[in-house]
């Protein structure tokens, strides 16, 4: 139960075993993001980004938010989120979100959770979520 959180407690990992390049193409249309790095390997190669498409940043952020909201009991408890994009996520990579409770402010009814994400072990997102504790 969230009211019993304590600093150092870790949230359950949220894992995408292999980022799907077909879903990237779908998201190009949904997000109206025609940047070819999300679907054209010739472009990523020419830009020196390797031989795989780059996943969209909003998708990576969504997965991070999903990991937090599962832990805290729903999106309505997420008060704020400050995140830095630290690297690209490429098709086929294993994407993993993690988090750790850094502080619990019982008198304010909030907690702070340090969040991060990696792609094949490389840091790609990092930040801090401020969440509302549930009312018991």
pLDDT in tens, the chain (136 residues): 445 789 999 999 999 999 999 999 898 888 888 899 999 999 999 999 999 999 999 999 999 999 999 999 999 999 999 999 999 999 999 999 999 999 999 999 999 999 999 999 999 999 999 999 987 6
SS3 115: strand
Q: Which domains does the chain have, with CATH numbers?
A: 2-20+54-132 (3.10.129.10)
For residue 98, CA distances in Å to 22, 30, 44, 74, 76 come to 25, 27, 28, 17, 20
What is this structure's pTM? 0.91
Q: What are phi and psi of 129, to 5 degrees?
A: -105, 135
């Amino acid at each position: 139960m969230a009211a019993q959180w304590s600093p150092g407690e870790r949230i359950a990992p949220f894992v995408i075993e292999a980022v799907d390049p077909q879903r990237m193409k779908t998201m190009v249309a949904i997000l109206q993001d025609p940047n070819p790095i999300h679907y054209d390997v010739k472009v990523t190669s020419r830009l020196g980004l390797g031989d795989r498409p780059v996943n969209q940043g909003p998708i990576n952020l969504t997965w991070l938010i999903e990991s937090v909201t599962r832990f805290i009991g729903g999106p309505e408890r997420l008060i704020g989120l400050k995140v830095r994009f630290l690297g690209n996520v490429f098709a086929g990579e294993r994407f993993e979100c993690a988090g750790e409770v850094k502080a619990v402010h019982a008198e304010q009814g909030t907690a702070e959770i340090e969040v991060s994400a990696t792609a094949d072990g490389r840091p790609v997102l990092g930040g801090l979520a401020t969440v509302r504790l549930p009312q018991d």
